Amino acid sequence: MMPLRKVLLICGAVLAVICCALLPLVVGPYGVGIALNVLMWIALAESWAMFSGLSGYISLGHAVFYGVGAYVTVLLWQLVPLWVAIPLSGFGAGLLALVLGWPCLRVRGPYFVILTLGVSEFVKYIVIGSEAALGRNGRLLIGTPSLVVLFEAMLLVAIVSMVALYVVRSSRLGAGLLAIREDEVAAGAVGVNATAVKLLTFTLSALVPGVVGGLMILRSTYFEPLQAFNPTTSFTIVTIAILGGSDDVPGPLLGAVLLVLLSELLWARAPEVYMIILGVLLVAFVLFVPEGLLGRVQRLASPAKP
Amino acid sequence: MDLSVIFSAQLLASVLVLASLYALVAIGLNLVYGTMRLLNVAHGELVMLGGYVAYWAFAQWAISPLLAALVAMVIAAAVGALLYIAIIRRLFRSPSLLARIESNSLLVFFGISIIIQNVTSLAFTADSRGYSYLDDVIEIGGARIAANRLATLAVAGLASLACALFFRYARSGMAMRAIIQQRDAAALVGIDVDRINVQVFALGFALAALAGALISMSQQISPFMGFPFTVSGFVIIILGGLGNLTGSIFGSLILAAVEVYGVTLISPSFRSILVYGVFIAALLLRPQGLLGRSIRAR
């Protein structure tokens, strides 16, 4: 029974990917733009869940990895080809995660949450300061790839991000992270090298936002540090993870689709109302559906499990 | 660089004014964290609301902001108590939410923070607003200072002092300190923890609103002005030690000094880098606070 289910699942996934890839043939630029946003949030939230969802260390640092990715792409613009610059954006973000993660991961719980926020704001103001010192008031990119190219690239990144979460979750690394989430001291006692596991995953989870940042700056064609390093990015990712659930691959996917649809319905017409609904959803989900939509669906599907 | 700058009465006065405001913000934030382990990232929003109450009272009915501050405090206290009763109490009731109380509270308060910001923005537009009140300059001991800032210092200083006395001598104040030290033991010796929690919310929010009303006399207010105060508040309570109320006052002085001197000696654009730099250094080097004695594994 299991193999059949798996085969069906894989066939379904491949079919969904092909449909997604062919989407630009069917819908206009507006639709492709929305789809690009959905894919961006899927990629970001899945990569966030890889570290924060599995380890329970809620990171507000994704905005800085996104921003650094964007910055690297902007700095390398027209110096190297994009197929070099975009991966380098990912590695730049990964390198930063390695450097920042080493001190940050020594603290836990609320200290970690506010430290990641503090560090990303710190980096943001450093970039703002250095751009001002260079006399650059924002940078314009001219001749960026078309929307469809960016969409297909983002589709690839989203798939990689989902597969990466799946692979990490079912590996020894994932088992180590889940053990850390339940009880870090006990995990250490049974032989999990907590420091190494956390630092490795934190670094891995920063690669995707770096690449996403690089791609999205090609979409917006304008780099401005306040925008690129906006902490709202981190908060939105956390909200997506809370809505969908961050324990498994479908959770962040569900959350991202839901949130982007909501934002498309309301953002342009009533941005304040959108933000208020976002806040209400966040509060309501933490209080009443802490396991997220996916967790709730799974629980309803198998009522025997507590 | 002339060293006398560092000792100028002018800068010292600025440090004291800023520190007294920060103390009001930080005491409330620390009280909520200390007694309940809640990370109130919506604390700055109460500062903003206090500012709006004072602004409207002045703009509509020409009521002195110093008087309106009292109204703002009452409103904020009611908001705090209601928030606790309607939402926060639920966090303590469910064991799974309680297990990660800090992270969950952070998310809930973040939600509340965006709700308050955007409701304010819808109601009053996102424009910055300001008014002038008591803005003649007074000269004291070589420092030239606007009367409203002097009033800020006096009121905020008195309020901080009143808080210190309250924690030292009042029954509720002592109960709050007892809960900060030993939550379970405090309940065992007969302290009604739930009732004190309501009071903590009311008091903490009222202090933030007072700070906001005072700030509105000398600065422009906007619906999104709260976040920097939340950040400064967190920097201060980490400097002074989470749950350590005396430490908060100490931390306010340090952060205010770093900000004022940093901005004067280096450049205004360094303000955020300095604040976050102090923040990171404090968290990494002394997460137990500068005054803290023992390192608790947390």
* A147-206 confidence digits (pLDDT tens): 999 999 999 999 999 999 999 999 999 999 999 988 888 888 888 888 899 999 999 999
Given a contact cutoff of 8 angstroms between Cβ atoms, the answer to whether A69 and A212 are in contact is yes
User: Residue B144 pLDDT > 70, yes or no?
Assistant: yes
* Dihedral in degrees, nearest 10, Cα atoms B266, B272, B274, B277: -150
Q: Flag if B273 and A283 touch (Cβ within 8 Å).
A: no
Question: Which band of pLDDT confidence, cut at 50, 70 and 90, is reported for residue B292?
Answer: low
Assess whether pLDDT exceeds 60 at residue A306: no
> Smallest Cα–Cα separation from B233: which of B40, B35, B38?
B40
B161 touching A, CB under 8 A? no
- A189: Cβ–Cβ under 8 A, 6 or more apart, which residues? none
> What residues does each domain of chain B span?
26-225
Amino acid type, B3? L
DSSP secondary structure of B78-103: HHHHHHIIIIIHHHHHSHHHHHTHHH
**B87/A238 Cβ within 8 A:** no
Nearest to A276 among B118, B283, B287 (CB): B118
Q: What is the sign of the dihedral through the CA atoms of B270, B276, B282 and B288?
A: positive
pLDDT at residue B294, as a whole number: 44
B97-138 residue pLDDT tens: 777 777 788 889 989 999 999 999 999 888 888 888 877 888
- Whole-angstrom distance, CA of residue B45 vs CA of residue B19: 19
Render pLDDT for B41-75 as a digit per residue (tens, 0 to 9): 899 999 999 999 999 999 889 889 899 999 999 99
Q: How many pairs of residues across A and B have Cβ atoms under 8 Å apart?
A: 112
Which H or E element spans position A30?
A: helix A29-48
Question: Domain count of chain A?
Answer: 1
Return the higher-pLDDT residue of B293 and A93. Answer: A93
CB A230 within 8 A of CB A63: yes
What is d(CA B242, CA A139) in angstroms, rounded to the nearest whole number? 41
How do residues B225-274 score in pLDDT, each as one tens digit? 998 899 899 889 888 887 788 888 889 999 999 998 888 888 777 888 88
Residue A33 resides in a domain: yes
Q: What percentage of chain B reaches a pLDDT higher than 90?
A: 39
Given a contact cutoff of 8 angstroms between Cβ atoms, the answer to whether A137 and A149 are in contact is no
Establish if A293 belongs to a structural domain. no
Average pLDDT of the residues in B82-94: 89
What ipTM was assigned to the predicted interfaces of this complex?
A: 0.84
Q: Distances from the Cα of A71 to the Cαs of A137, A138, B11, B293, in angstroms?
A: 14, 11, 37, 42
Q: What is the pLDDT of residue B6?
A: 66
Q: How far apart are CA B123 and CA A220, in angstroms?
A: 31
Is A70 part of any domain?
yes
Interface touch A283/B117, C-beta < 8 Å: no
Residue A6: predicted pLDDT: 83
Residue A305 has pLDDT above 70, yes or no: no
Domain contains A298: no
Whether residue A140 has pLDDT greater than 60: yes
Phi and psi based region of residue B292 (left: phi greater than 0; alpha: psi -120 to 50; beta: remaining): beta
Predicted pLDDT of residue B287: 64
Q: How far apart are CA A206 and CA B130, in angstroms?
A: 42
Q: Kindly report the backbone phi and psi dihedral angles of residue A222, in degrees, each rounded to the nearest multiple of 5, phi listed first.
A: -140, 125
Q: Would you call A275 and B114 a contact, using CB atoms and an 8 Å cutoff?
A: yes
Domain that holds residue A208: 28-230
Residue whose structure tokens are 């604040």: B275
Residue A192 lies in a domain: yes
Average pLDDT over residues B79-86: 94
First-to-final CA distance of chain B: 44
Distance from C-alpha of B242 to C-alpha of B255, rounded to nearest angstrom: 15
* Cβ-defined contact of A279 to B287 (cutoff 8 Å): no
- pLDDT for the residue numbered B21: 93
Residue-wise over A218-247: b if at least 16 C-beta within 10 A, else e?
Answer: bbeeebbbeebbbbebbbbbbbbbbbbbbb
Given a cut of 70, whether residue A92 has pLDDT beyond it is yes
Does the pLDDT at position A127 exceed 70?
A: yes
Tell me the per-residue pLDDT of A248-302, one tens digit each, with 9 for 90 and over.
Answer: 888 899 999 988 888 888 877 788 888 888 889 889 988 888 888 888 888 787 7
A119 contacts in chain B (CB < 8 Å)? 276, 280
* B272 to A125: CB separation less than 8 angstroms, yes or no: yes
Cα B213 to its chain centre, rounded Å, is 12
Structure tokens at A137: 């008031």
Look at residue A240 and tell me if it is in a domain. no
What is the predicted pLDDT for the residue at B296? 44
Given this model, what pLDDT does residue B290 score? Answer: 65
Q: What is the pTM of this model?
A: 0.86
Query: How distant is the Cα of A125 from the closest Cα of chain B, in angstroms?
Result: 6
**In percent, how much of chain B has pLDDT > 70?**
94
**Residues of chain A neighbouring B106 (CB-CB closer than 8 A):** 58, 110, 113
Taking residues B162-176, what's their average pLDDT? 90
